[in-house]
């Protein structure tokens, strides 16, 4: 059997951290993606400009650089803020900027930009006739969005969301660099201490492989469900 | 030059000639690492993609396994395994390979090349598989053998279909290369991390480097758009 030299429980905890991080970032990115896509498709020029700026900037910067910026920059901002609050109101407002929070925020922000593009394409794929019909029935804009656009858009967005999720899952490994004790961090420390790199990294790689392979199956199943009743042109 | 820029340049302690040189060296390292790994990856990806489309599972199976493993795990772990793992191979420290692989640049290059090769193989495979059957039939009818068909018909038309996905992969590689700084390589991100720790100025150090990456990304996007226009010029509507 695989002998993890007593690092087993720590690795397991690390795996839980990885999964938590991935799910929370996914949630944030989906929210940002919906907001971004709605702004891009809205008539409001300011909202459109902000969303375009957001997606362009985020997709031009490496994820690691952004993570370092948020992690170190976040701490400096908190320090400055707490100094200012102390001087102005004598309230002690200091907290350590957590690598977990910076990880979730960074990964969420990055994939929010990718989700924006996914949702934008999916919204555009819904036929305009559907919207016209909803308006003809006297649906309000919000109602049209919630009852007509959103459910039909999801079907088109699913493959893109699935791809983004697979990339997101692998990006979570980067948080080990800013000091979060995820699976990769534990494996790195164990590998250095025991001088056995293959012994610790290969099981971690296998866990990632199981996660990505499992997600692939799940996404396939979701796709099949979402496309029930849709006649695909061959 | 507007006064405030001159003033800012005079006052700032961070962007001196020395730190600019550090960033420049980082830029050279990043560009070298990314360019070399992309070239190596592409060179190996073309034959691998052809093998991957083979009907014989003994031929396509191993290639599938390779791309599956490298695309299913994070690049960071691949880098760690190669960087820490190579030194552990019994006897390697006595061979000439050790002279090469003791420098962090080469393990990183190997990891990046293996990774991008896996993604590129799948991109090219997708393009080869979607070659219209009529084109291949026509080539066969002209009496072209397999090799000629590949060289004259399948690969050129696959290249046109692959170029857009490949441009994404190139930009992805540029961004992924930032993790080279983890194994002590002073690439762009490594330079920014050094400068951050020297001045404790996260915004200056990282926003500056982020801007450099953005410029590099836009150059790549622009170049690939030009290339795409060139490759797909036969599809342009008449008169434009």
DSSP B148-213: HHIIIIIHHHHHHHHHHHHHHHHHHHHHHGGGGGGGT--SHHHHHHHHHHHHT-HHHHHHHHHHHH
Per-residue pLDDT at B239: 62
Query: Is A199 within a domain?
Result: yes
Interchain contact A193–B (C-beta under 8 A): no
From chain A, pick out residues whose CB is under 8 angstroms from the CB of B88: 195-198
**Closest to A48 in 3D by CA, of B204, A56, A3:** A56
Q: Which residue range is the domain that position A200 belongs to?
A: 8-225
Q: Tell me the pLDDT tens digit for each residue of A148-176.
A: 888 888 888 998 999 999 999 999 999 99
Per-residue pLDDT at B220: 94
Q: Alpha-carbon distance B77 to B70, whole Å?
A: 10
Q: Which two tokens stand for residue B208?
A: 């500056």
Query: Is A3 within a domain?
Result: no
**Closest to B162 in 3D by CA, of B194, B119, B191:** B119
Q: Are A204 and B77 a contacting pair at CB < 8 A? A: yes
Per-residue pLDDT at A43: 81
Query: Is A158 within a domain?
Result: yes
From chain A, pick out residues whose CB is under 8 angstroms from the CB of B189: 62, 64-65, 68
- For residue B92, give how far its alpha carbon lies from the nearest alpha carbon of chain A (Å): 15
3-state secondary structure A53-116: HHHHHHHHCCHHHHHHHHHHHHHHHHHHHHHHHHHHHCCCCCCCCCHHHHHHHHHHHHHHHHHH
Q: Are B206 and A68 a contacting pair at CB < 8 A? A: yes
From chain A, pick out residues whose CB is under 8 angstroms from the CB of B210: 60-62, 65-66, 69
Per-residue pLDDT at A227: 81
Per-residue pLDDT at B118: 95
Q: Which two tokens stand for residue B135?
A: 């084109």
- For residue A212, give how far its alpha carbon lies from the nearest alpha carbon of chain B (Å): 6
* Per-residue pLDDT band at B214 (split at 50, 70, 90): very high
Identify the CATH number of the domain in which residue A76 sits. 1.10.3720.10
Q: Alpha-carbon distance B62 to B73, whole Å?
A: 17
Residue ranges and CATH numbers for the domains of chain B are: 3-233 (1.10.3720.10)
* CB-based contact A89:A58 (threshold 8 Å): no
How many domains, chain A?
1
Query: Is A186 within a domain?
Result: yes
Positions of chain A with pLDDT under 50: 234
Segment B94-115 mean pLDDT: 86
Cα dihedral A183→A188→A189→A192 (10° resolution)? 160
Interchain contact A212–B (C-beta under 8 A): yes
Residue B190 has pLDDT above 80, yes or no: yes
Residue B7 has pLDDT above 90, yes or no: no
Angle at Cα A218 formed by Cα A37 and Cα B48, nearest 5°? 90
Interchain contact A64–B (C-beta under 8 A): yes
Query: Is A30 within a domain?
Result: yes
Query: Is A1 within a domain?
Result: no
Reported pTM: 0.88
Per-residue pLDDT at B215: 94
Q: Are A61 and B76 a contacting pair at CB < 8 A? A: no
Q: To the nearest whole number, what is the mean pLDDT of chain B?
A: 88
The beta-carbon neighbor of A62 closest among B80, B88, B175 is: B175
Q: Tell me the pLDDT tens digit for each residue of A64-81.
A: 999 999 888 888 888 888
Query: Is A192 within a domain?
Result: yes
Q: Tell me the pLDDT tens digit for each residue of B122-174.
A: 999 999 999 898 999 999 999 999 999 999 999 999 999 899 899 999 999 99
Residue B188 has pLDDT above 80, yes or no: yes
Interchain contact A65–B (C-beta under 8 A): yes
Q: Alpha-carbon distance B42 to B46, whole Å?
A: 6
Please classify residue B29 by burial: count the beta carbons closer than 10 Å to its beta carbon, then call 0-12 exposed, 13-18 middle and 19+ buried: buried
Q: Are A188 and B80 a contacting pair at CB < 8 A? A: yes
From chain B, pick out residues whose CB is under 8 angstroms from the CB of A66: 210
Predicted complex ipTM: 0.87
**Out of B51-55, B99-103, B145-149, least confident range:** B99-103
**Closest to B193 in 3D by CA, of B171, B210, B217, B168:** B210
Q: Alpha-carbon distance B195 to B202, whole Å?
A: 9
Residue B193 has pLDDT above 50, yes or no: yes
* Per-residue pLDDT band at B240 (split at 50, 70, 90): low
Q: Are A65 and B176 a contacting pair at CB < 8 A? A: no
Per-residue pLDDT at A234: 45
Query: Is A135 within a domain?
Result: yes
State the Rg of chain B over Cα. 22
Per-residue pLDDT at B235: 77
Q: Which two tokens stand for residue A48?
A: 């459109």
Q: Alpha-carbon distance B179 to B187, whole Å?
A: 9
């Amino acid at each position: 059997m695989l002998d993890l030299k007593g690092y087993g429980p720590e690795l397991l905890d690390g795996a839980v951290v990885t999964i938590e991080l991935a799910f929370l970032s996914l949630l944030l990115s989906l929210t940002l993606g919906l907001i971004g896509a709605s702004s891009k498709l809205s008539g409001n020029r300011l909202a459109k400009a902000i969303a375009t700026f957001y997606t362009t900037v985020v997709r031009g910067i490496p994820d690691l650089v952004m993570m370092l910026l948020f992690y170190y920059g976040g701490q400096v901002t908190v320090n400055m803020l707490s100094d200012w609050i102390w001087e102005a109101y004598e309230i002690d407002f200091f907290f350590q900027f957590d690598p977990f929070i910076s990880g979730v925020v960074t990964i969420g922000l990055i994939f929010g930009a990718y989700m924006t593009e996914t949702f934008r394409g999916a919204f555009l794929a819904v036929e305009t006739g559907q919207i016209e019909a909803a308006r003809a029935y006297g649906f309000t804009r919000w109602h049209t969005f919630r009852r007509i656009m959103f459910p039909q858009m999801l079907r088109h967005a699913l493959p893109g969301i699935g791809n983004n999720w697979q990339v997101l899952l692998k990006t979570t490994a980067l948080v080990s660099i800013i000091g979060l004790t995820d699976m990769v961090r534990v494996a790195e420390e164990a590998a250095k201490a025991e001088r056995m790199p293959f012994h610790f990294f290969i099981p971690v790689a296998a866990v990632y492989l199981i996660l990505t392979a499992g997600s692939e199956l799940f996404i396939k199943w979701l796709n099949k469900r979402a496309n029930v009743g849709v006649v695909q042109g061959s | 030059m507007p006064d405030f820029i001159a003033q800012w340049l005079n006052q700032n302690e961070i962007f001196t000639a020395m730190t600019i040189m550090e960033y420049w060296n980082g830029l050279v390292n990043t560009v070298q690492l990314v360019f070399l790994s992309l070239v190596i990856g592409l060179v190996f990806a073309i034959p691998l993609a052809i093998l991957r489309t083979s009907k014989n599972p003994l031929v396509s199976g191993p290639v599938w396994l390779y791309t599956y493993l490298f695309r299913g795990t994070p690049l960071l772990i691949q880098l760690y395994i190669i960087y820490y793992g190579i030194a552990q191979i019994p006897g390697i420290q006595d061979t000439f390979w050790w002279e090469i692989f003791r420098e962090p640049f080469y393990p990183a290059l190997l990891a990046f090349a293996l990774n991008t090769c896996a993604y590129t193989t799948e991109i090219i495979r997708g393009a080869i598989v979607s070659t219209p059957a009529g084109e291949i039939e026509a080539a066969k009818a002209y009496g072209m053998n397999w090799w000629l068909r590949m060289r004259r018909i399948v690969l050129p038309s696959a290249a046109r279909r692959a170029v857009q996905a490949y441009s994404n992969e190139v930009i992805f590689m540029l961004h992924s290369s930032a993790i080279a700084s983890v194994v002590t390589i002073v690439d762009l991100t490594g330079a920014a991390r050094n400068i951050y720790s020297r001045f404790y100025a996260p915004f200056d150090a990282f926003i500056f480097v982020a801007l450099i990456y953005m410029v590099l990304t836009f150059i790549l996007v622009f170049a690939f758009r030009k290339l795409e226009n060139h490759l797909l010029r036969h599809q342009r509507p008449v008169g434009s």
